[in-house]
Homo-oligomer: A and B are copies of this chain.
Amino acid sequence: MRADARKNRDHLLAVAGAAIAEQGVEVSLRDIARRAEVGLATLLRHFPTREALLEALLRTSFDELTGRARELETSSSPEDALVRWLHDCVVWTTEYRGVTVLMAAAIEDTESALHASCVTLRAAGARLLARAQEAGTARSDIDGADVFALVAMLAWLGDQPSLAPRADRLFGVVASAILTR
């Protein structure tokens, strides 16, 4: 990649991160391009879709979350590990208002730039769930896809201004439903 292109790409990512933090993932791509003092076409060549832009922006976060899952797998009791990781996931999404809908769409769309990351995340959750289930502390009638859906639900809740104040309490309610104690 040419040096000037690399510079534009990096700059766009930085600006996009700021814009999304302010306005959520549905922020106008034109706005991002304007704020980066770059043509819209330039943004769209580097990141042909909104998903592609997000994938580049969230790659680090995704890696951190899967790493966190591995870490908890050895450092905590199965039930604590599961609940803490779910909490980490939900908290993380609050930084990217609106990302949940895109992730839900991506996990079954193999063409989406976010697909692989979402599948990896779901697998990490499934491992933690299986561990708790083997220990007998998580209900056995749910699977990794259910956990992914539950996280998505709670994350979506946090995205809705009117419902967000309930997010913490309802996380507890849902967590208590997953555990068998």
B-binding residues in A (CB < 8 A): 101, 104-105, 107-109, 139, 141-142, 145-146, 148-150, 152-154, 156-157, 160-163, 166, 169-170, 173-174, 176-178
Contacts and interface: CB of A to CB of B under 8 A. Distances in A.
Is chain A's binding surface mostly helix, strand, loop or mixed?
helix
B169 A142 contact: yes
Given A174-B174, A177-B174, A177-B177, A141 B169 contact: yes
A173 B162 contact: no
Given A104-B162, A162-B105, A149 B177 contact: no
Contacts of A154: 153
Contact of A177 (B107, B109, B166, B173): B173
A148 B107 CA distance: 27
Given A139-B173, A152-B157, A156-B156, 19 more contacts: A104-B163, A105-B160, A105-B162, A108-B162, A109-B162, A142-B169, A142-B170, A145-B166, A146-B169, A148-B163, A149-B170, A150-B170, A150-B173, A152-B160, A153-B153, A153-B156, A153-B157, A176-B177, A177-B177
Nearest to A139: B173
Nearest to A160: B104
A71 to B, nearest CB: 27
